[in-house]
Structure 1
C-alpha cells in the first residue's frame, strides 16, 4: 500500500507539472494571439489612407502615387487617426529601354536579417508570433532564393534578437554591423511583417491574389535622405514593373539601424492576418524590382531621369553606384569637417599658449 501511495503521489506531481506547463503554453499563445490594435488612418476628408499597428503623431506616409501625409491626430480608444496632406512628391521620371544591355560581370552582394524574428502569419503559422524564428524567416529565405537566381550573393543572418521589445533594434544593430563589416553589401534589408488587416496587404489582379510589401524609412537616422531616395527609386521601379507590389513608404520615428548604409531598408512583408503563402509567391516580383533598381536602372546626372535597363556612360550611372557615391561624398565631407574643427581647436590652443607666454614674459621684464 505504501508503494502504491508513493507511486500515486509521483503521478500526481507529474500531472500538476504538466498542467502548469500546458497553462504556460496557453498563456503564451494568448499573449501572442492577434489582439494587437490596428490603427486606420484617414485624410482630412475622411478617406482611408492606410493601416498599421504601430503609429505615432508626427509619423509620415507616402502613398504609391507619391502623395505625402503626416499624422496629426490619433484616438487611442477607437484606433483611428487623421493625417494631413503635405505635398505631392515629384515622382522620378522613368522610362524603359528595349535595347540589348551589355553583359556585366560584377560582384553583387545583398545582406538580410530579421530584427523581429518572432513575427509570423496567423492563417499559416497558427499564431502571429513565436519565441524563436517565426514565419517571417520562411519569407526571408524565399526572397534570398529569388535574389540568388538573379546572380546576387545573398547572406541571410538568422541570429535571434528576441524578445520583441524596445531593445530589439539595439540587439540587431550588432548583427547588421557584422554583416556590413564582413561582406560590404550593396544593400542591407531588415525583413518584417506588419500589423494590419488582410485586405490592406492583399491585392487581387485578374482573380489572383498577391501579397503586398511596405517600405519603412526611419526618420531618426542621419542617412534618412539617402534611405528615402533609395526607397523612392524602389517604389518608382516597382510601380512600372508590378504596380500592385508596394503599398506605400512609411516614415516612422525610429532609426531602424538605417544609419549604417544609404541602402538600408526595412520591408514589411504583408500583415499577420495574411496567408504566408501569398507573400512567399510575391518574392519573385520583389527580387526583380530590387535587382532592376540597384543594378539595371540608370540615373541621368543632369535630368535625374531613370531608365530601366539603361546603358551606363559618363552621364548615366546605375542607382547602386549613384547612392554609393553620394554616401562616400557625405563621409568625406564629415571627415573634412572634423579635420577643420580639430585644426581650428589646435590653432586656438596654440594662440592661447603663445599669448600666455608672451604675457608672462612682459610681466617678468617689468620685474
Structure 2
C-alpha cells in the first residue's frame, strides 16, 4: 500500500472516530433533558426510580403512569413516566402510617364484630388469583400450573390465624392460566368468599423482583417481606387503602421493616367487592417456600393485632 492510500485511510478513520465521539456526547446531553433516566433493563420486573436515579421499587406488577407507592418509611410517591420497564416517580407526600389510626373505625365500613375484643365470629378468607406462582429455590420453577407453592403459603397463614380461634376460609381453586383474564376467573371465587362475610379478604401472590428486595430476617428467622397492593380503578379504593394503611401501621409497630410498602396500581384486583380486600405479595420467585411460609407467622401476628382492634387502643 502506497503512502497516499495510508494517509487516506488514516484520515477516514480519524473522521469516523470524531463523528462517533460527537454523537456519543450529543446523546448524553439529549438524555439529560429527558424526564426519564437512560437506564436499560431486560429483567422480568419493573424498576421505579426517583429523578436522581435511586431505586424506589422493583416489582413484577406492570407499572403505569399515575400509579403510586408508599414505601417502607411511608414516603408516598407517584409515577410520572414509564418507558419499557423503567419508571420515574416523584414524592407526593410524606406522613406516618400511624396517622391512619386517627380515622374512626366506622368510616372504614368494617363489620361491627371487628370492634369486639375477642375472636367471636371473626373470620378471614384467603384465595389465590395466580395459582401457579412458586418459588424457584424450592420447586426449581417459578410456575406450577394449578398447584403453585402459593397455596402452601396460604395454608401457613391459615394455620397461624386458626391458633387463636379465627375461622379461615382458604380457597384452593385454580385460576390458570396466568394471563390477563385470571382476575376475571378468580372474581367468582372472591364472590363466593364474600358471601361468607369475612372480616378480611386476602388474595395472596408471589412477586417478581431481585431477592434483595424481599429477603429479610425477623427474630433470627429468614423470611420474605410482604407488599400490599391496592387497585386504584376501584371506585371505593380509599376504603381499601385505609385498611391497608392500618395493616401496615400494625406491621411497622410489631415488626419494623417486614412490610415492604403499599403499591397502588392500575386495575381493581376485585377489591371493589369488599372494603377489607387486600392483595398481598409474599416474596419473590428467588425466595424459598420456607421463607415465604415463615413470613406467614409474622403476617398472622399483624393481622391478629388488627382484627383484635388493638391498633385502636
Q: What is the TM-score normalised by the length of structure 1?
A: 0.67
Distance 1:258 1:91 in 2: 21
Distance 1:105 1:172 in 2: 28
Equivalent residue number for residue 296 of structure 1? 309
Does residue 83 (structure 1) correspond to residue 89 (structure 2)? The answer is yes
Does residue 39 (structure 1) correspond to residue 46 (structure 2)? The answer is yes
Conservation of the 8 A alpha-carbon contact between 1:36 and 1:195: no
Does residue 137 (structure 1) correspond to residue 145 (structure 2)? The answer is no
CA gap 1:206/1:114 in 2 versus in 1, 3 angstroms: closer
Distance 1:72 1:105 in 2: 44
- Aligned to 1:110, the other structure's residue is in SS state strand
Conservation of the 8 A alpha-carbon contact between 2:134 and 2:149: yes
Shift of residue 205 of structure 1? Answer: 5.3
Matches within 5 A, 1:55-204: 55-76=63-84, 79-93=85-99, 104=118, 106-181=120-195, 183-204=196-217
Q: Of the two structures, which has the highest relative contact order with CA contacts closer than 8 Å and spacing of 6 or more?
A: 2
Q: What is the TM-score normalised by the length of structure 2?
A: 0.78
Conservation of the 8 A alpha-carbon contact between 2:98 and 2:249: yes
Of 241, 265, 273, the residue aligned with 2:254 is 241
For structure 1, the residue ranges without an aligned partner over 5 or more in a row are 1-34, 96-101, 298-305, 311-367
* Structure whose CA Rg is larger: 1
Matches within 5 A, 1:300-319: 306-307=311-312, 310=313
Deviations 1:308-353 (A, max 9, x none): xx3xxxxxxxxxxxxxxxxxxxxxxxxxxxxxxxxxxxxxxxxxxx
Q: How big is the alpha-carbon RMSD for the aligned residues of Structure 1 and Structure 2?
A: 2.0
Distance 1:206 1:118 in 2: 30
Distance 2:245 2:63 in 1: 21
CA gap 1:44/1:36 in 2 versus in 1, 3 angstroms: closer
Does residue 216 (structure 1) correspond to residue 229 (structure 2)? The answer is yes
Distance 1:290 1:242 in 2: 12
CA gap 1:85/1:192 in 2 versus in 1, 3 angstroms: same
Equivalent residue number for residue 51 of structure 1? 58
CA gap 1:158/1:40 in 2 versus in 1, 3 angstroms: same
Conservation of the 8 A alpha-carbon contact between 1:41 and 1:50: yes
Distance 1:156 1:83 in 2: 36
